[in-house]
Amino acid sequence: MSLSASLHPPTRVLMGPGPSGAHPRVLRAMTAPLLGHLDPEFLRVMDGCRAMLRQVLRTTNEVTLATPGTGTSGMEAAVMNLVEPGDGVVVAVSGYFGDRIAQMAERAGGGVTRVSAPWGSPVDADAVEVAIRAAGNVRVVAAVHAETSTGVRQPIEPLASAAKAAGALLVVDCVTSLGGIAVEADRWGADVVYSGTQKCLSAPPGAAPITLSPAAWEKVRARETPCNSWYLDLQLLEAYWDERRTYHHTAPISMVYALHEALSLVLEEGLEQRWARHARNGAALQSGLEAMGLVLHADAAHRLPVLTTVRVPEGVNEAQVRGALLERHGVEIGGGLGELRGKVWRVGLMGESSIPGNVLLFLAVFGRVLREQGFKADVREALGAAAARLDQP
């Protein structure tokens, strides 16, 4: 290929664990003229993002912003700013990303206790409470609300109660949930909530919304040692996002435009309506997959509507199925991570990708590819079950 060749990426139906499809308005926003990162007009865009983030996160927290980088930058900002050497940290681990939080807390010098659950079930809140009491001096409790590796929704309020009883701060990873299922930072009693732009918010990857309660912000400001990350030091970032406008980094201008437009679309649709849309489409997909004869991996009572894990039937090559979907049908889904590698597919219905047409398209082409692999997928039953669910209010 010539070094001067034009860029022509193919069109895909993005139904993996992220990114999701982006609305044309979001993509158009990224082509708007660049401004300087301290231009008054750009600062007004930042202020608009901040106000809308509070609405989408359901919080009144003053310290609410977006870190530069993908959702992992939000995770690292939360952990590295809150955890000091010697702090007790209890992490609910029910999948790949819960374990990533624990690894970061260890790198920050925290004394980490993992409370684990099988990959497919949420962590038991009573077990977390026992671990907090046993560990002593616990300053931070952390959990993943929507575990992207397993398709499991973790109940948050019981963890918040356990953390508060111990005088600890609660950190919640909402990378996959924000904009797709209910995230209620203040009602939960969460102290730090972070997310990413590329999943249910349906913007390209590149920014991580994060909000801190007054108690969390007090701990950040009272640190005895500097944050281990200069780039993600929230005291420095906040000084750029608030009225001081202190230079910290050159903001990703076009990414902030995209976030602004994506948040506008979320609020125009309405949070409750958006949650209902994701719930309906997720239930239709899951009904169709089960009618096809497949087994869903996550516990039925805690399945996410935005990310479904499907067990790979015996004798089926999961990578070949994903390859055929992508190459022949332009549909992207994900494979398993960690201990689920090669054992499940991960099918996303997030943001702009969560539409009835994608549910029916996926079931049709997925069933066809499975039949080629020797699995007797009942595509007609699958489509009928999904359509029936879509017809329900």
Label residue 374 by pLDDT band (50, 70, 90).
very high
Label residue 386 by pLDDT band (50, 70, 90).
very high
Asked if the structure places residue 340 within a domain, the reply is yes
Which of 4-13, 36-45, 90-99 is the least confident region? 4-13
Strands 146-147 and 152-153: antiparallel
- Indicate if 96 and 240 belong to the same structural domain: yes
CB 5 within 8 A of CB 339: no
Q: Which residues pair with 172 in a beta bridge?
A: 143, 193
Asked if the structure places residue 13 within a domain, the reply is no
> Residue 67 and residue 98: Cα distance in Å, rounded?
20
Q: Mean pLDDT, to the nearest integer, of 14-33?
A: 97
Q: What is the pLDDT of residues 295-330, one digit of tens each?
A: 999 999 999 999 999 999 999 999 999 999 999 999
CATH number of the domain bearing residue 382: 3.90.1150.10
Residue where a domain terminates, one of 267, 302, 323 = 267
Asked if the structure places residue 9 within a domain, the reply is no
- Indicate if 111 and 243 belong to the same structural domain: yes
Q: Which residue type, as a one-letter code, is found at position 305?
A: P
Residue where a domain terminates, one of 225, 251, 267 = 267
Asked if the structure places residue 371 within a domain, the reply is yes
DSSP string, 14-43: E-SSS-----HHHHHHTTSPP--TT-HHHH
Asked if the structure places residue 15 within a domain, the reply is no
pTM of the model: 0.96
What per-residue confidence (pLDDT) applies to 4? 66
Asked if the structure places residue 8 within a domain, the reply is no
Averaged confidence pLDDT in the chain: 97
User: Does residue 258 carry a pLDDT above 70?
Assistant: yes
- Indicate if 253 and 353 belong to the same structural domain: no
- Indicate if 43 and 187 belong to the same structural domain: yes
- Indicate if 252 and 147 belong to the same structural domain: yes
User: Does residue 3 carry a pLDDT above 90?
Assistant: no
Alpha helix locations (H) across the chain? 24-29, 40-57, 71-82, 96-107, 125-135, 157-165, 185-188, 214-221, 234-241, 253-269, 271-291, 318-329, 356-372, 379-390
Asked if the structure places residue 82 within a domain, the reply is yes
Number of domains in the chain: 2
CB 131 within 8 A of CB 100: no
Copy the structure tokens of residue 137: 């001096």
CB 65 within 8 A of CB 202: no
Residues 6 or more apart in contact with residue 164 via CB below 8 angstroms: 170, 189
- Indicate if 52 and 140 belong to the same structural domain: yes
CATH number of the domain bearing residue 169: 3.40.640.10
What per-residue confidence (pLDDT) applies to 2? 59
Residue where a domain terminates, one of 267, 299, 314 = 267
- Indicate if 230 and 91 belong to the same structural domain: yes
Q: Mean pLDDT, to the nearest integer, of 276-300?
A: 98
The residue segments making up the domain with residue 68 are: 24-267
